[in-house]
């Protein structure tokens, strides 16, 4: 575990033992099952009845959209809870990793990683919490296997690899980074030039013998989407991890299904989105294991601290604090004027007398109110119309409610 002093904590993080790494490996039962399966194949005998599929489905094997919910896929559904401290998994690479770390830092939950080549770290403000850096897709798997307890990732990864798994709970569904959507990319030229909607695509005469070839890294999500659109037996899925945009013009696929942020990459590769072709919206989310939240000592309290800071910071990002001086006969007169002008803030304006050199300035009051950023200039105009002077605008770091509504919702989920 982590020691009580900074020096001991650093030594523990710098010298990651083999036991730490092996803790993230599949339990022996899964390794033995795979070894037995390979041995059985070599002797032309059937593999064991229980087979764990851990990677993305192969090109000729479309996994079920809710495969992650099967007991064989989730170590949290059987066996004892992993021993050891609570663990948090974060994305290890790319923009998602950068944005996750930036958000945590802005919430006073900065991650300390002494050795950039290692995958284990800590959050000094949450003693006892281990942080592990993983690929986004592996974060879902580690949660399912019970190797980690909480994770930050994109909703697209969660939907693809964990949809239907009752043990995994979305603690926060809108972290406001990593915004994108999963959509079809259709050639803008050739046979697809006049295809502008999903109905146009369906009317092109696809069949089981002449299927629509879709290249994607999201096979479970893709299968579910085409089933909902009545094309389950008219589509063939091809696997790819990168450079999907080139596939249609190389002739190896008809269309693609991939993440889209601005659409620039699609357009530069002569692809387009179509009406009805948007599959899911995605952004950063926080996910946790239901079983771990219930049974691991100290985890639920840590999650509450993280959730409260996230909620307070994200809410504060929507507002400015505006303060101005106004002359009037009384505080209530100013408050009434502000409310009549729609300047009510969170729970109403705060009005107090202004003092100069220890003496109260005659009929001069300071009025403060939280204003949504999009309404700032209209608010300043209204305050000036009331005689406001010396208008101050301040950034807010946190707005703590009595208790975040997402925390209340989480407790309800744990009772189910």
pTM of the model as a whole:
0.78
Give the whole-angstrom CA distance, residue 338 versus residue 415: 44
Q: Which residues contact 212 (CB under 8 A, 6 or more apart)?
A: 201, 204, 206, 231, 234, 235, 236, 254, 255
- What is the longest distance spanned by two Cα atoms in the chain? 98
Average pLDDT of every residue of the chain: 85
User: 363 in helix, strand or coil?
Assistant: strand
Across 336-364, average pLDDT: 88
Specify the residue for token string 């809710």.
66
Q: Is the pLDDT of residue 396 over 90?
A: yes
Q: pLDDT tens digits for 112-158? A: 998 888 899 999 999 999 999 999 889 999 999 999 999 999 999 99
Across 29-47, average pLDDT: 43
What are the contacts of 46-50 at 24+ separation with CB within 8 A?
A: none
Helix segments in 169-298, DSSP class H: 198-202, 219-228, 247-250, 264-268, 290-295
């Amino acid at each position: 575990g982590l020691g009580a002093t900074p020096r001991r904590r650093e030594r523990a993080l710098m010298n990651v033992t083999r036991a730490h790494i092996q803790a993230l490996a599949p339990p022996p039962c899964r390794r033995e099952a795979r070894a037995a399966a390979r041995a059985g194949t070599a002797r032309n005998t059937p593999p064991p009845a229980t087979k764990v599929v851990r990677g993305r489905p192969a090109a000729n094997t479309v996994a079920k959209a809710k495969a992650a919910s099967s007991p064989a896929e989730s170590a949290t559904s059987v066996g004892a809870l992993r021993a050891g401290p609570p663990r948090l998994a974060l994305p290890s690479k790319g923009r998602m990793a950068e944005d996750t770390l930036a958000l945590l830092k802005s919430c006073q939950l900065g991650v300390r990683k002494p050795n950039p080549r290692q995958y284990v770290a800590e959050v000094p403000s949450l003693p006892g919490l281990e942080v592990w850096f993983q690929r986004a897709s592996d974060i879902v798997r580690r949660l399912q296997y019970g190797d980690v307890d909480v994770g930050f990732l994109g909703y697209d990864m969660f939907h693809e690899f964990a949809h239907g798994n009752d043990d995994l709970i979305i603690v926060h569904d809108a972290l406001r980074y990593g915004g994108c959507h999963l959509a079809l990319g259709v050639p803008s030229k050739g046979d697809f030039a006049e295809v502008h909607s999903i109905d146009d695509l369906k009317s092109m005469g696809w069949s089981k013998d002449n299927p629509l070839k879709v290249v994607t890294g999201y096979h479970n999500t893709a299968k579910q989407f085409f089933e909902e659109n009545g094309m389950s037996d008219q589509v063939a899925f091809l696997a790819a991890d990168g450079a999907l945009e080139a596939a249609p013009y190389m002739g190896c696929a008809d269309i693609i299904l991939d993440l889209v942020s601005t659409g620039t990459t699609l357009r530069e590769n002569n692809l387009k989105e179509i009406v009805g072709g948007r599959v899911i919206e995605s952004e950063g989310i926080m996910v946790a294991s239901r079983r771990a939240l219930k049974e691991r000592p100290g985890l639920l309290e840590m999650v509450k601290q993280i959730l409260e800071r996230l909620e307070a910071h994200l809410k504060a990002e929507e507002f400015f604090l505006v303060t101005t001086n106004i002359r009037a006969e009384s505080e209530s007169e100013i408050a009434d004027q502000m409310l009549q002008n729609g300047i009510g803030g969170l729970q109403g304006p705060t009005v107090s007398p202004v003092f100069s050199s220890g003496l109260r300035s005659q009929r001069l009051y300071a009025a403060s109110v939280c204003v949504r950023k999009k309404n700032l200039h209209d608010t300043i105009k209204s305050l000036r119309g009331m005689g406001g002077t010396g208008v101050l605008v301040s950034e807010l770091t946190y707005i703590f409610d009595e208790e975040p509504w997402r925390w209340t919702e989480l407790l309800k989920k744990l009772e189910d």
